[in-house]
Structure 1
């Protein structure tokens, strides 16, 4: 009896979810129309009817809007529109009779939607990734943690890549596939052009890897709440310049070794923070080549330093300045969290 009565209820819930989903998409298209995106809306409607060429066209139009100016000036609705177009492309690429190549292209489209798209359709993108990956004939589900991680990071996922030290003039950002990133890590012999996956939401993009991460209990101390979980992956010699962050930070070293130097928050004035708002949490002092003539207050400052080995974690308090250099190929995970009250001085 319970099973029979539960079936109609489940079907009704599913129908309601579909209706909500359609309402969200319709509302998004109305918003894009208000922004003058009539051609996008026309292509998106055709894509919803099964037209792959229209889906590709809609994705290209949204992509152009994402690159029409500085990122912070992009209208949020266009990010959601890009995600919608990526969903359409993926669904049509991975339809009945799709081959391995089509499924790879579908996953690529979904990954781009996760990276560049807005939050409106993120759950839809995640569900599509799981669905398409599950039916991919060329994906082998392996037992064992090492095999799962190798599988998760090699399935042609697109990830943001950060170049050299972000306060240097030659620094840049690129969007490359993870396989391309790994090739650079292994072949890059130029210290001025190191490839670094820095402060990256890798675990949001690859759920298989997130399942292996346990949040340390420390992050919940004092009524704490996790704010950010990020990965840091790169070769020997990558540097995160001297800077401070607003949250508590547990920095876990998974693979390799890193040198870390810390200055207390009270030393801020003597560390010459940048005056530009975008870099105000970063020091002008280059610890690899300190100019004591320009920055004399640094010379006699006390600091703490250590070499973080595999399997070790370091707690970095809020607003404490820290500099990090990899001493080998390295993979680290940072846990940012906030608490209801900061520990007292000297705690």
Structure 2
């Protein structure tokens, strides 16, 4: 496909896998982010929430974390390093600082991303390992499911735009801005673990911070 290959969007967003079940993605890192913070979002067993309860309580009003919804054994295999490189090594992937409303985008071959760009996050530069994440942005409602690692989420309702710099990393926001927020400007937040799914409603501001090398999949609703 050469240099004219269109950008390829990989459905699973890869930042590596944890050492105990790494799928080939584990990387040595001096960066350790142990602070999971607290969780002030409802966390429920998915089987205990009916469709009508979800509509009434969460779909249009607030986030919720659901557990025990799926078995990801097959998807874990498909997201292994060797499986993805065998299928997509020559494809182009688009790296960005956010999802739908990215502030910066860079197109690189997937092989180059794996070989050269997978590294821990620095406070002043983009990386692809622990400490990465997307800065605050918003779009339609969606689900995000963690396959490997831990992913910390920060959310604000549509009428409460957070204070942040669009070209600074989430890591810098967490270390510099978050500790000084007044109580009435504190976000909703929770750390999502493998097998857990976070739902957020339409137009909710959200930012993420990967505490480990992590793999997740997001689904956005129209």
> TM-score w.r.t. structure 2 length?
0.52
Residue 172 (structure 1) shift:
5.1
- Structure 1 Cα separation of the partners of residues 195 and 179 of structure 2: 36
- Structure 1 Cα separation of the partners of residues 178 and 217 of structure 2: 32
- Structure 2 Cα separation of the partners of residues 159 and 320 of structure 1: 26
1:330 aligned residue (209, 214, 218) = 214
> Which residue is equivalent to 2:138?
244
Question: RMSD between aligned alpha carbons?
Answer: 3.4
Provide closer, same or farther for how the CA distance between residues 190 and 249 of structure 1 changes in structure 2, counting only shifts above 3 A: closer
2:187 aligned residue (289, 303, 307) = 303
Is the counterpart of residue 113 in structure 1 residue 45 in structure 2? no
Give a deviation string over 1:304-341, Cα, whole Å, max 9, x none.
Answer: 21111112110011121212001111222111113xxx
Residue 160 (structure 1) shift:
2.0
Is the counterpart of residue 183 in structure 1 residue 115 in structure 2? yes
- Structure 1 Cα separation of the partners of residues 126 and 183 of structure 2: 29
> Which residue is equivalent to 2:203?
319
Provide closer, same or farther for how the CA distance between residues 193 and 251 of structure 1 changes in structure 2, counting only shifts above 3 A: same
Structure 2 unaligned residues grouped into runs of 5+: 9-76, 167-171
Residue 194 (structure 1) shift:
2.9
2:88 aligned residue (145, 153, 161) = 153
1:257 aligned residue (141, 144, 150) = 150
Residue 292 (structure 1) shift:
9.0
- Taking the TM superposition and a 5 Å limit, the aligned residue runs for 1:125-274 are 145=78, 146=80, 148-154=83-89, 156-162=90-96, 165=97, 173-186=105-118, 188=119, 191=122, 192-195=124-127, 234-245=128-139, 247-268=140-161, 271-272=162-163
Structure 1 unaligned residues grouped into runs of 5+: 1-106, 117-143, 196-233, 280-284, 339-347
Matched position secondary structure for 1:260: strand
Residue 302 (structure 1) shift:
4.3
> TM-score w.r.t. structure 1 length?
0.35
- Structure 2 Cα separation of the partners of residues 292 and 310 of structure 1: 27
> Which residue is equivalent to 1:289?
176
Q: Name the structure with the higher helix share.
A: 1
> Which residue is equivalent to 2:58?
none
The structure number with the bigger radius of gyration is: 1
Q: Name the structure with the higher strand share.
A: 2
Give a deviation string over 1:204-256, Cα, whole Å, max 9, x none.
Answer: xxxxxxxxxxxxxxxxxxxxxxxxxxxxxx311112112222x1110111222
Matched position secondary structure for 2:6: helix
Give a deviation string over 1:101-156, Cα, whole Å, max 9, x none.
Answer: xxxxxx335xx33239xxxxxxxxxxxxxxxxxxxxxxxxxxx74564442233x2
Matched position secondary structure for 1:151: helix
- Structure 2 Cα separation of the partners of residues 329 and 113 of structure 1: 28
Provide closer, same or farther for how the CA distance between residues 189 and 263 of structure 1 changes in structure 2, counting only shifts above 3 A: closer
* Aligned residues of 1:262 and 1:304 also touching (Cα < 8 A): yes
Give a deviation string over 1:36-74, Cα, whole Å, max 9, x none.
Answer: xxxxxxxxxxxxxxxxxxxxxxxxxxxxxxxxxxxxxxx
> Which residue is equivalent to 2:20?
none
* Aligned residues of 1:108 and 1:157 also touching (Cα < 8 A): no
* Aligned residues of 1:242 and 1:286 also touching (Cα < 8 A): no
Provide closer, same or farther for how the CA distance between residues 244 and 287 of structure 1 changes in structure 2, counting only shifts above 3 A: farther
- Structure 1 Cα separation of the partners of residues 92 and 111 of structure 2: 9
Residue 260 (structure 1) shift:
0.6
Matched position secondary structure for 1:265: coil
